């Protein structure tokens, strides 16, 4: 429990990462305020958080605010010591108009930062993504760190990736030019898995669901870095107060990357009959490339076939004293929650 009743704003309280941040902040004794686009959603969000084990729910309050409008943000940040700006539009893959993703992400981040500065907030922790670090680069044996930035128009960088790059760069530029005493920290989580909140399936949990459902005929020869959503939330909270965190970026990853085929093997090992639809075979690269000519969902993975992206979490461990779970724990927790909530086909 905290020694004083500090107040934290978490933006986008109905979201996957934000919900876990709210749970942990309340558990640690903070007063928590969260934003939703409409207050008609408060009861539903409270119900999801209660189902997920929320304690001290009386210390949680709601404010209506939207990333596309200035309305509500002054009220949202009023009296807050810290802000976790987690809310951002998520559209993986092809979108018709990229501005539908990029503009709310970039302008929303600036709205939150401006309001936080004006309200005297001490520090904003902004959720960026590995999409702002490890995409669009030539294939080498490089280990990605917080010093890397994705190539804006590089191969495999979709609208969501560009939204993360542009929003984070805009945030750093704003704080440098107009931030005053406001401190900024950005978090760069890799593929996020773990316990589902409510009935919404977010992040890389879609991969687990599709595996269990039998929607995947096999696994492309792709490797991904994984992190548990509970560890993403704990890293945000550590970054909120850690003395050496201000002005820093933090890659948030469990450790070594995992082959998609290995994810299938873990599911089969742990879930027996419930994992009977999980594929065991690999999809040859030539088939994936051919499929990418006709299916947009395959195009973003073609540049990463047979390439292992190594990611360092050393900085988060050292500066934040952050200790993440193993990737396997995140995979298993995701599958357990999907099965328990009947979010995979019977």
Which residues are marked as active site? Answer: 164
Cα R_g (the chain), whole angstroms: 20
Which DSSP helix (H) or strand (E) runs through 219? strand 219-220
CA distances (Å), origin 69, targets 78, 121, 318: 17, 20, 38
DSSP characters over 105-125: HHHHHHHHHHHHHHHT-SEEE
DSSP state of 91: -
Asked if residue 133 lies in contact with residue 146, where contact means CB atoms within 8 angstroms, the answer is yes
Q: Are 65 and 39 in contact (CB under 8 A)?
A: no
Tokens representing 331 are: 């995979």
CB atoms within 10 A of CB 157: 21
Question: Hey, which bits of 30-113 come out as E strands?
Answer: 31-36, 60-64, 82-85
Cα–Cα–Cα angle for 177, 181, 186, rounded to 5 degrees: 75
Which of 64, 84, 60, 88 shows the shortest CA–CA distance to 74?
A: 64
Please name which of 297, 304, 220 lies closest in space to residue 262, comparing C-alpha atoms.
220
């Amino acid at each position: 429990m905290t020694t004083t009743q500090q107040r934290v704003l978490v933006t986008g309280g109905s979201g996957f990462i934000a919900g876990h941040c709210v749970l942990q902040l309340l558990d640690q004794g903070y007063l928590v305020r969260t934003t939703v686009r409409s207050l008609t959603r408060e009861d539903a969000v409270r119900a999801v958080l209660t189902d997920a084990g929320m304690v001290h729910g009386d210390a949680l309050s709601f404010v209506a605010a939207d990333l596309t409008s200035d309305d509500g943000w002054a009220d949202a940040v009023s009296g807050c010591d810290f802000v976790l700006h987690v809310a951002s539009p998520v559209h993986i893959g092809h979108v018709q108009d990229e501005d539908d993703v990029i503009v709310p992400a970039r302008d929303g981040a600036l709205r939150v930062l401006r309001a936080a500065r004006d309200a005297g907030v001490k520090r904003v922790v902004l959720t960026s993504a590995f999409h702002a670090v490890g995409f669009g680069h030539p294939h080498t044996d490089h280990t990605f760190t917080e010093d890397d930035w994705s190539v804006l128009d590089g191969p495999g960088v979709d609208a969501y990736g560009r939204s993360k790059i542009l929003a984070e760069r805009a945030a750093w530029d704003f704080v440098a030019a107009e931030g005053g005493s406001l401190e900024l920290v950005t978090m760069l989580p890799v593929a996020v898995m773990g316990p589902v909140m409510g009935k919404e399936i977010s992040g890389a949990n879609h991969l687990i669901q599709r595996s269990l459902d039998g929607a995947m005929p096999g696994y492309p020869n792709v490797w991904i870095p994984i992190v548990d959503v509970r560890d993403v939330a704990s890293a945000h909270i550590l970054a909120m107060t850690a003395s050496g965190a201000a002005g820093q970026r933090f890659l948030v990853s469990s450790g070594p990357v995992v082959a998609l085929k290995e994810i299938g093997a873990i599911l089969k090992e742990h879930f027996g009959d419930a994992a009977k639809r999980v594929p065991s075979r690999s999809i040859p690269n030539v088939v994936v490339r051919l499929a990418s000519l006709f299916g947009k969902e395959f195009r973003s993975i073609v540049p990463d076939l047979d390439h292992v992206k190594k990611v360092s979490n050393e900085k988060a461990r050292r500066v934040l004293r952050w200790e993440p779970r193993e990737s396997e724990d995140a995979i298993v927790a995701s599958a357990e929650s999907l099965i328990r909530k009947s979010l995979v086909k019977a």
